[in-house]
Amino acid sequence: MIRPHGDWMDRFLNIHPDRDIPFKEYIGLRLIGRIVLGGSSSVVFFLLYNLIRQIENIPYVLYTLYFFVAGISVLLIRAKAILIGKIAFVLGCLFFLFTFAITAPIHTGTHLHLILLVLLMIALVGAGKQKILLPTVVLVYLFYLLASFPGFDPFQRRVFSESQLQGYFILNSTTFFVMYYLIIWWILDLHRQYENDLKHHMSQVELQRDQMGELNKNLDKVVYTVTHDLRAPLNSLLGLLTLMESANKEETLEYRALMQKQIAAMKSYIQEIVEYNRNAKTNVEEQAVVLADLIQEVIDTVMNTSDKKLQVDLVVPRQIMITSDPLRVKVILSNLISNSAKYSDPIKPHKTIKIEVKQLRGLIETSITDNGIGIAEEHLAKIFDMFYRATDRQEGTGLGLFIVKETIEKLGGQISVSSELGVSTTFKFTLPA
């Protein structure tokens, strides 16, 4: 457990480390919460002991004072007056324990409980803050000496029989050592939680640094490749414009068609850059989607923009729903289906694409199979790398499959590819249902 927020103690004190306070102060407040409850149990136990032993002059006012101090301190902490709440608790406990000690016989050992305040101050303030800690410890020590001094009797001390004195001494000693052990254990436990949180934070920093390094590396690669890949079609356009100056009507139409092709390629390239940037920077926005409708929409778009005759076989049950980001799912499907159309085999009379969707346990599996030109085995391991091209038979940016993989992983899924050169290719990906 790295950060123990959200449990009953957090609700009791109305605190949360991520929203309200630093984690180090958060665990100190949790210590106060534990001591408030532990002290309340001790007070109730002492009260029951007095009632059972039928001890006279039970200090009901002092018992009530502790619950008043504890309640006010908790209310202040819940109201975000944290410093005032901590001071009120420490001073209130000091007054309660000191008053309790000087109204009871010295041999009852009641004054021992003042030592617990020193441990509490070390835990709340920290050993490094000597200017606050040292005066507080000295003050507690002076109160301890006064409570232990036989001649200091500002109030009439209660009278106990010998057996009651022994019983009280045993009870106070036992309570003192139990609370001493619990406070030490709580401090060590909270210190362990603080160390775990620090380690978790450092690991997150390391992870973010690695991610930033990877992003910078990809950015450098994008800038270099984009400038290189856009320069070629721009130079081609400039060359065609020069040729058009002295061309006849028929040649002008031919050059314009070539220019349109170059412009379409640049538009597609820029769109892929935009998709890559959007996937990297925008948050996932989930909603329920009928997958069959989304797939059909993508197929209609691909078929309208492709000049190739394709046979598409759909095995997509209409009842299958997916809760995901529809824009990202559409980007995945568009890239994979358009790739199947783009890299179809021109020598095959029947060009087919089969799309099959299956409902697995907690997952939606989609496979897209075509009988196109296929991918050579040596390219399969690198097919999802940025700007990697597995063939020169068709113009491509080398970004499409990289974007597909990045998008699927951002949605919490996985993708795999299998292919036989000249026969077929199958892309299979899963997404959380």
CB 113 within 8 A of CB 179: yes
Mean pLDDT for 24-46 is: 83
User: Has residue 231 got a pLDDT over 80?
Assistant: no
43-47-48-50 Cα dihedral, nearest 10 degrees: 140
Confidence of residue 102 (pLDDT cuts 50, 70, 90): confident
Q: Which pLDDT belongs to residue 412?
A: 92
pLDDT given for residue 157 in this prediction = 72
With a CB cutoff of 8 Å and minimum separation 6, the contacts of 57 are: 158, 159
On the question of pLDDT at 389 being above 80, the answer is: no
Is the torsion defined by CA of 64, 68, 71, 73 positive or negative?
Answer: negative
* C-alpha to C-alpha distance for 221 and 227, rounded to whole angstroms: 10
Query: How far is C-alpha 397 from the chain's CA centre?
Result: 34
Q: What confidence score (pLDDT) does residue 367 get? A: 96
pLDDT at 385: 86
User: What average pLDDT is seen over the chain?
Assistant: 82
Tens-place pLDDT, residues 320-329: 999 999 888 9
What is the full DSSP assignment across 191-253? HHHHHHHHHHHHHHHHHHHHHHHHHHHHHHHHHHHHHHHHHHHHHHHHHHHHHHTT--HHHHH
User: Domains of the chain (ranges plus CATH)?
Assistant: 8-208 (no CATH), 285-432 (3.30.565.10)
Average pLDDT over every residue of 39-52: 86
Which one, of 332, 260, 249, lies nearest residue 289 by Cα? 332
Instruction: Work out the pLDDT band at 81, boundaries 50, 70, 90.
Output: confident
Q: Which two tokens stand for residue 396?
A: 């491509």
Check pLDDT > 70 for residue 397: no
- The per-residue pLDDT for range 279-319, each reduced to its tens digit, is 767 788 889 989 999 999 889 888 887 767 889 999 999 89
Cα dihedral 279/280/281/287 (nearest 10) = 40
For CA atoms 41, 43, 49, 52, the dihedral sign is negative
Q: What is the pLDDT of residue 364?
A: 94
Q: What is the pLDDT of residue 17?
A: 64
What local confidence, expressed as pLDDT, does residue 117 receive? 81
Please say if the pLDDT value at position 333 is more than 90: yes
**Which is more confident, 400 or 376?**
376
Query: Which residues are within 8 A (CB) of 337 and not within 5 positions of it... i.e. 6 or more apart?
Result: 298, 299, 302, 353, 355, 368
* Number of helical (H) and strand (E) elements in the chain, helices listed first: 12, 7
Bin 413: left if φ > 0, else alpha if -120 < ψ < 50, else beta: beta
Residue 32 banded pLDDT, cuts 50, 70, 90: confident
What is the C-alpha end-to-end distance of the chain, expressed in Å?
Answer: 28
Is the confidence at residue 269, as pLDDT, over 80?
A: no
| Residue whose tokens read 């130079």 | 235
For the residues 71-82, what does the mean pLDDT come to? 88
426's torsion region: left (phi>0), alpha (psi -120 to 50) or beta? beta
Q: What percent of the chain has pLDDT over 90?
A: 18
Q: How many CB atoms sit inside 10 A of residue 402's CB?
A: 20
Per-residue pLDDT, averaged over 108-128, amounts to: 76
The two three-digit tokens of residue 208, written as one number? 């973010």
Mean pLDDT to the nearest integer, 124-151: 76
pLDDT in the model for residue 1: 40
- What is the per-residue pLDDT for 314? 93
Could you tell me if 315 and 275 are in contact, meaning their C-beta atoms sit under 8 angstroms apart? Answer: no
